[in-house]
Chain A
Amino acid sequence: MNVRYSYLSQQFGQIDELLEQIRAFVKTGDFTLGAELTKFEAKFAKLIGADFAIGVGSGTDALKLPLKALGIGHGDEVITTANTFIATAGAINEVGARPVFVDCGPDFCMDVSQVERAITKATKAIMPVHFTGYMTDMPRLQAIADKHGLPLVEDACQAILADIGGKRAGTYGVAGGFSLHPLKNLNVWGDGGVIVTSDAAFADKLRLLRNHGLKNRDEIACFGYNSRLDTLQAVVGNWLIDSAESITQGRIERAAYYDKHLGAIAQLTLPPRYTDRRTVYHLYMVHAQDRAGLQQHCLARGIECKVHYPIPLYRQEGLSHLGYRQGDFPIADAQAANVLSFPCDQHLSREEQDFVIETVRAFYGVAR
């Protein structure tokens, strides 16, 4: 059985209605900051529970623009996690600041207890990453940030509709950045991102920054970027956004089913499961003994399992100038050596999940 990682062909198998909408849309020529985008932004803000949403070119830009709007630049430091995707640190670097890493906890998110140690006079913001769809311990992090007068910008790229006690990812900080990349839980047909904020002045600044700093057609308030979510992509987003909740629920149900069966295998360790936080399983990641062996075994049997990520960010060649050394972040290192992600999307069938479970059992020689 082939258990694919990407489900896009299934998700967009029946799109006649969407193509009709695209057909109508392209005839309007309303391609840049158009009406469909405004509609999408309003829906997105409502979905997350923020006052404003600003559509931008990518999830990376959804992190970069808030930093820029905070005035963060050369000589400044931004604290983030050592195990995230390159784009988090890339956004910090892009504005000229220096990423300062802290290790992660067993839930792949920032170990909040280590943050205060990393704060220096140059620290200008904290960027927690809700990695794999887990929520960072935001109440605790917020208390630390408040104590030091530091703004929080949340990397919620993998965590749409995750929450703690009903308060959603992206609504804790001054801004939250989301990705709409084709492989994200809520996705469009190319690169795209959204920033949410409930600060009206901050939202205005972000709107300027994404559109060349243009106050109107002729006047430029500040140097900015070109980072607008294509209105064409917003048409796709509008078509999908009403399903965001059912997509999330589909992932949570599949994760629970895996948990029940994979959790019983001694050679696998599940990350902690919380009852007070909603985890949205952008990635379903487990710790595996003999990870390389298990991955080979699964791949050979048609299961597209992946490693997010084999080299922790802080050890990437491109970041060597930051001066970190192997061993600086032992949890991130340990996880890089043993994590494995299985397909866990809303289109995955029970048969496919059973096949994954059976294949893993067979590898470890575990009876049903």
Chain B
Amino acid sequence: MAGSAALALPRRALAPREVPYVALNRQFAGESAALLTRLQQTLASGQWVAGPEVTELEGRLAARLGAKECIAVGSGTDALILSLRALGIGPGDEVITAPNSFIATASAIVQVGATPVFADVLPDQNIDPARVAAAITPRTRAILPVHLSGRTAPMPELLELARRHELRVVEDAAQAIDARRSGKAAGTFGDLGCFSCHPLKNLNAAGDAGFILADDAELGQRLRRLRSNGLVDRETALEWGVVSRLDSVQAAVLLERLPALDGVTEARRSNAHRYRELLHGMPQIFMPPCRPEEHNVFHTFVIQVDRRDELQEYLRERGVGTAIHYKIPIHLQPAARALGHGPGSFPVAERQATRILSLPVHQFLTPPDLEYVAATIREFFA
């Protein structure tokens, strides 16, 4: 009797489990008392714009990442826009970047009046230096590599190209805080490194936030005035600027969290490592190898699979949240129509866009969570 009842039920090898893609509420539950105390102190000071918290945060980030200057701004997008502006890039100029990033990378180029020129990517989703070399024209002024998913782009090759063609390098390190290549931090290779501290980033504020790393003091000074209306003091506007200052309250949140960043990164790295073990040997899954010189921080953990949409749905039905970064490459977005690209322009990025799936990799996952996700994937392909 019992045997036939079991046969009548669908085979369920796995006990159902909820594995959300993000877990911001868990982060806050654990820290909100200390965070609120700090916020209260900041508020009592009344210095809510450009307060001492901002200066302290800038100092700590510069020291941690190994840059001479850190300039905190309103968002990662603004970090890119202001960096391009500080380098004098504008109408008539071309900037080479990857077509598979978040839209903000390309829109920053558009917003300063320059033209984004895309170069296709490598199997690991980062920009392909050979394609960059082929995209250089007399109008090219800069290369804007993206350290996608928290893996550093091939910086030695890109820097060599930049040196040979006298190009500037602005790094989009929005997903790559503390990522390193041969010990050097993402964001410190080029002229300027741009970071985001959006709530979903590894180091996250309670709202939009970003910062820029620089080694050149003059560039640093220029960025400081560009972020505050071009003002050098209360009265004098030396040039046109914008308003893109990190709120003191957000700086306070980031200061509170900065000491935990090592732990966040380690947890993400260890989760990624565990996925690699658990999914090892599956021919249906491509996971870009991690090279010895790379220290990847896994802002996302991306697998590449056929039948991606089916797998995503299968996981969703079984309580596993996933995401796609990003489903439509930038050059195929309606916004980019004027740039004149179409399907087939960047085949590697386009193929990846149909195959990539980001698995939950945040610091609140437990070993059973990871095993459940991997087992569910194995079950799907079985």
Contacts and interface: CB of A to CB of B under 8 A. Distances in A.
Nearest to A307: B235
B107 A190 contact: no
A29 B25 contact: yes
With most chain A CB atoms within 10 A of its CB, the pick from B44, B48, B104, B231 is: B48
B333 interface: yes
B333 A220 contact: yes
A155 interface: no
A86 B22 CA distance: 40
Interface string A213-235: 11001111111111110111100
Interface residues of B, number: 63
A144 interface: no
Contacts of B104: 212, 226
A23 interface: yes
A23 B35 CA distance: 9
A61 B39 contact: no
Contacts of B249: 189-190, 232
B244 interface: yes
Contacts of B208: 32, 57, 226, 228, 230
Interface stretch (A4-12, A283-291, A326-334, A354-362): A4-12
Contacts of A190: 48-49, 245, 247-250
Interface in B279-300: none
Interface in B65-84: 74-78
Contacts of A227: 74-75
Contacts of A27: 25, 28-29, 32
Interface string B220-246: 000000000111000111111111110
A212 B77 contact: yes
B235 A309 contact: yes
Interface string A81-101: 000011101100110100000
A27 B113 CA distance: 40
A221 B334 contact: yes
Interface stretch (B130-138, B140-148, B320-328): B320-328
Interface in A18-64: 19, 22-23, 26-29, 31-32, 57-61, 64
A300 interface: no
A23 B335 contact: no
Interface centre among A61, A86, A226 (most CB of B within 10 A): A226
Interface string B2-46: 000000000000000000001011011100100110011001101
A298 to B, nearest CB: 17
B40 A94 contact: no
B230 A90 contact: yes
Contact of B247 (A191, A311, A313, A319): A191
B103 interface: yes
Contacts of B237: 86, 90, 313, 316-319
Nearest to B78: A226
Nearest to B31: A26
A207 to B, nearest CB: 15
A182 interface: yes
B111 A86 contact: no
B326 A218 contact: yes
B207 to A, nearest CB: 3
B111 A223 contact: yes
A310 interface: yes
Given A74-B91, A221-B334, A232-B206, A22 B39 contact: yes
A278 interface: no
Contacts of B236: 311, 316-317
A232 B250 CA distance: 10
A90 B241 contact: yes
Contact of A231 (B36, B207, B229, B239): B207
Contacts of B230: 86, 90, 318
A224 to B, nearest CB: 6
Given A189-B48, A225-B111, A318-B238, A218 B324 contact: yes
* Interface SS of chain A: loop
A200 interface: no
Contacts of B207: 31-32, 230-233
A24 B334 CA distance: 39
Contact of A29 (B24, B198, B240, B242): B24
B158 to A, nearest CB: 24
Most buried by A among B76, B77, B240, B244: B240
Contacts of A201: none
A220 B338 CA distance: 13
Given A19-B40, A27-B32, A226-B208, A182 B235 contact: no
A85 B189 CA distance: 38
A266 interface: no
* Residue in A9, A74, A221, A225 with the greatest tally of chain B CB atoms within 10 Å: A225
A15 interface: yes
Given A57-B208, A191-B245, A213-B335, A223 B106 contact: yes
Among A9, A57, A85, A181: residue with most chain B CB under 10 A: A57
B335 A58 contact: no
Nearest to B35: A26
A60 B240 CA distance: 12
Given A87-B229, A220-B334, A8 B240 contact: no
15 contacts: A6-B46, A15-B43, A19-B40, A23-B36, A26-B35, A32-B199, A58-B244, A190-B250, A218-B328, A223-B106, A226-B104, A227-B74, A227-B75, A231-B207, A318-B237
Given A190-B249, A226-B76, 13 more contacts: A26-B32, A26-B206, A29-B24, A29-B25, A57-B75, A189-B249, A213-B107, A220-B328, A220-B333, A224-B107, A232-B206, A309-B235, A318-B240
Interface of A: 6, 8-9, 12, 15, 19, 22-23, 26-29, 31-32, 57-61, 64, 74, 85-87, 89-90, 93-94, 96, 181-182, 189-191, 212-214, 217-228, 230-233, 309-311, 313, 316-319
Pick the 4 closest A-B CB pairs, nearest first.
A190-B247, A29-B24, A230-B207, A226-B77
